[in-house]
Structures are given as C-alpha cells and as structure tokens.
Amino acid sequence: MYELSNRNVLLGVTGGIAAYKAAELVRRLQDQNAKVRVVMTPAATEFITPLTMQALSGEPVHLDLLNPEAEAAMGHIELARWADALLVAPASADFIARIAHGQADDLLSTVYLACAAPKFIAPAMNQGMWAQTSTQTNIDALRKDGITILGPDSGLQACGDIGAGRLLDIDQLLTQVSAHFSRGALAGLNVVITAGPTQEAIDPVRFLSNHSSGKMGFALARAASEAGADVTLIAGPVSLNCPENVQRIDVKSAKDMLAATLEQMAGCDIFIATAAVADYTPLNVANNKIKKNSSEMELTLTRTEDILATVSALPARPFCVGFAAETNDVISYARSKLERKKLDLIVANDVSNSEIGFQSDQNKVTLISKEQALDLPQMSKLSLAAALVDEIGQRYKSN
C-alpha cells in the first residue's frame, strides 16, 4: 500500500536548474496515488513553464499572491489548509533564506508560513552556495523548527562544479516523504474506534440524530491503520468509504453501538470514541408511522448508556481516548469529562465554529491529559488524525 495514497501533496517549485525535475516528481507522486497541486515562484517559471506543470498535475498551477482571480478560486490559506504535506523541490538558497526568516513575500513563502502540515525542503543549488555559512545557518534554523531537510545530494553539478548541492534523487525524495506517514506509532496494537452519529428511532420513518459526518473518526481509523494498528471501526450511519485494511462494523443506534463496542473489547489495547452518540433516545418506539393528529406532539426520551464510560469502567480496560464536542468553555467541560469518565486522554473540539468540528474537512483541537494540554492548530482531519495517532501512541507506551 502506498503511504501517500490520497494524501494532498502541495509541491512548491523554486527557481533553479533542477526545476525541470519537478515535472517528473509530479508524475511519481501521482503514481503513488497522491493528489498533487503545484505552486511556483516567479523564478521557477523561468526554468519550467506553468503549462507543463498544469498538464502533468491536471490542476491549475498557483503563481500569484496578489491575483484576485486566483485568490477567489483557491486562496493561499485554502492551499495551506488543503495540504497534508508541503514539499518544496527544488528549494533555492534564496527561498530557504526567506522562509528561515519568516518572510512571506510571494505565494509559496506565504503558503509555507500558513501551512500546519509536515514540511519537506529539498535544497538544490551550486555547491559553493550550499557551503556558505549563511545557507547552513538557515538550514539549521529550519531543522530546529521541525522541518525535514531532504538532501542535498553530491556529485557533478549543471554548472560543472563537483560537490554537495544536487537535488536528491526522486526515489529518495519519495521514500523520505512517504516514511513520514508510516512511522508505525501503533504497530501491533488493536485499536477500536467509534465514529459518526447514531440514529434513535421514533417510529419506522423518523429518528433523532446529529450532524456528525464520521470524517474525524474515519480519518483516525486510516491514520491508526497506517501507523501499524489492527483497526476496528464501529460506524454509525455515514456515507464514507471504509479506509483500507480497516474492519468496519455498521450500527444505527446508541444501543447497537454499545453492544458492538463491548463485543470488540477482548484484546483491545486502545479505544478511541469519536462518535457523537445520542445522549437520549425515545422511551418507546412506535410500531407504525405516527400520524399528525394534533398541533403538538410529546416525545419522552430516556438517557442512553455512556459507551465510553462503560468501557473505561471495564476491569481489563483499554487505554481510553474520548472526544469532547463543546460550543463554549471547551477546555473546562472537556477536562470534567476526562475526570468523570476516567479517561487517559480527551480531545476537545469547538463545534460552534463551522470551519471545524462537525462535517468540515478541517479540525483544530486540544489534546488533554491529567497533566497537560497540547494545542494542535487547524489542519485537515487526515493530518490531525496522523498527529493524534502519534501522540496517542507515545502516551500509550509511556502509560
């Protein structure tokens, strides 16, 4: 399985003779089923045409920061949020200097600054430029910021010099970017995840439910599987495809979800509850469609059992991770759920913001344990799931 399959890779191309290799890179990323969009600096367009990159990527190439038409189509912030990985190849000495100093004076450097996804910089330049103290200081600054530097390679250069500064071989670039998404943080573990809403029947044609799309839970299932876990996904009614290598169990009501979850608890190492489970369900379900005989109707609801709290109270309980969907006092409500349900971790998200939370492709959360709180900035649910899986894996191991 390709680690970059269905990943959104934003490829930045800067000005240098190695820019022509970016064309091959687009193709090779696509061979791995990655979705590729290209941003070029003005200098890059002197070495390879945007038309070539557009034809290869099948997507409009992004060039200008201050072009109202381009911004209206997919602006720099949307591009930054779209990316699951930002790869700049080749990265010139000038571009490296600008990003090392937080400058954002063209589209690519602005996207770079705004992007919360993992970033990979593949330098390519003359060996003398690479060896310069200023370049090395800039590279060190990027490494300290957690940026992955890929290469450069050594050998004969286009200018005739011999030394370090060649763009890393494309196979190696792909291997290193892919490796980032396959670190195996949950290798060998059994993970059970609940996702989506539940539906609580009122009569044969009506039900109570909520806005959960299942995207967050499905992204976590995919990330956990890619991190080496054996994943069972217990899904309420959603219209999403099951991630590869994940066992899916479909359920409707909170009661069904509880039963399916408890059946999966033998041998479960980590339980992650992303489902938006109904807290109340109709006390009685009508056998036939209820007729609208009066202007008002009364429905008596009864509390559902809390799946997460039930799992957390099991004698041989797994490591328990809850989600808290809140609209106000997000952190303090999440903390009280962590304590009340006796969880190891809780992920707090603000569902009052339509850009994140329910149904959105993006989320922004705080991961809370008894000891600490870690803010994870707004990013795609896939990237966030990968970051959460890393954190959960580390905390599980040190538990």
Q: Binding segment for ligand PMT among 107-115, 185-193, 207-215, 241-249 (CB under 6 A)? A: 207-215
Convert residues 90-119 into a mask of x (bound to ligand PMT by CB under 6 A) and - (unbound). ------------------------------
DSSP structure string for 64-109: -SS-HHHHHHH-HHHHHHH-SEEEEEEE-HHHHHHHHTT---SHHH
Convert residues 332-351 into a mask of x (bound to ligand PMT by CB under 6 A) and - (unbound). -----x-----------x-x
Q: Catalytic amino acids? A: 159
298-328 burial: b if 16+ Cβ within 10 Å, else e: eeeeeebebbbbebbeeeeebbbbbbbbbee
Give the Cβ contact number of residue 169 at 10 Å.
12
CB of residue 124 to ligand PMT, shortest distance in Å: 39
Q: Which residue, among 360, 381, 351, has the nearest Cα to 217 in the 3D structure?
A: 381
* Binds ligand PMT (CB under 6 A): choice among 138, 157, 213, 312: 213
Residue 274, interface with ligand PMT (CB under 6 A)? yes
Name the region of 151 (left: φ>0; alpha: ψ -120 to 50; beta: rest): left
* Binds ligand PMT (CB under 6 A): choice among 91, 191, 216, 229: 216
Residue 136, interface with ligand PMT (CB under 6 A)? no
Residue 193, interface with ligand PMT (CB under 6 A)? no
Encoded tokens for 378: 């707004």
* Binds ligand PMT (CB under 6 A): choice among 48, 273, 330, 389: 273
* Binds ligand PMT (CB under 6 A): choice among 230, 306, 344, 391: 306
CB of residue 304 to ligand PMT, shortest distance in Å: 5
Contacts (Cβ under 8 Å, ≥6 apart) of 172? 150, 151, 153
Interface with ligand PMT: number of residues (CB under 6 A): 28
* Binds ligand PMT (CB under 6 A): choice among 14, 109, 212, 232: 212
Cα–Cα distance measured from residue 312 to residue 318, given in angstroms and rounded to the nearest whole number: 7
The one-character DSSP state at 28 is H
Tell me if the bond preceding 237 is cis, omega within 30° of 0: no
Q: What angle do CA 107, 108, 111 make, to 5 degrees?
A: 85
Cβ-in-10-Å burial (0-12, 13-18, 19+) of 293 comes to: exposed
Cα–Cα distance measured from residue 198 to residue 214, given in angstroms and rounded to the nearest whole number: 10
* Binds ligand PMT (CB under 6 A): choice among 62, 215, 364, 395: 215
Q: Which is nearer to ligand PMT, 179 or 262 (CB)?
A: 262
CB of residue 77 to ligand PMT, shortest distance in Å: 21
Residue 322, interface with ligand PMT (CB under 6 A)? yes
Q: Which is nearer to ligand PMT, 107 or 356 (CB)?
A: 356
CB of residue 343 to ligand PMT, shortest distance in Å: 8
End-to-end CA distance of the chain: 31
CB of residue 111 to ligand PMT, shortest distance in Å: 25
- Residues contributing to the site for ligand PMT (CB under 6 A): 194, 196, 212-216, 254, 273-277, 279, 304, 306-308, 322-325, 337, 349, 351, 357-359
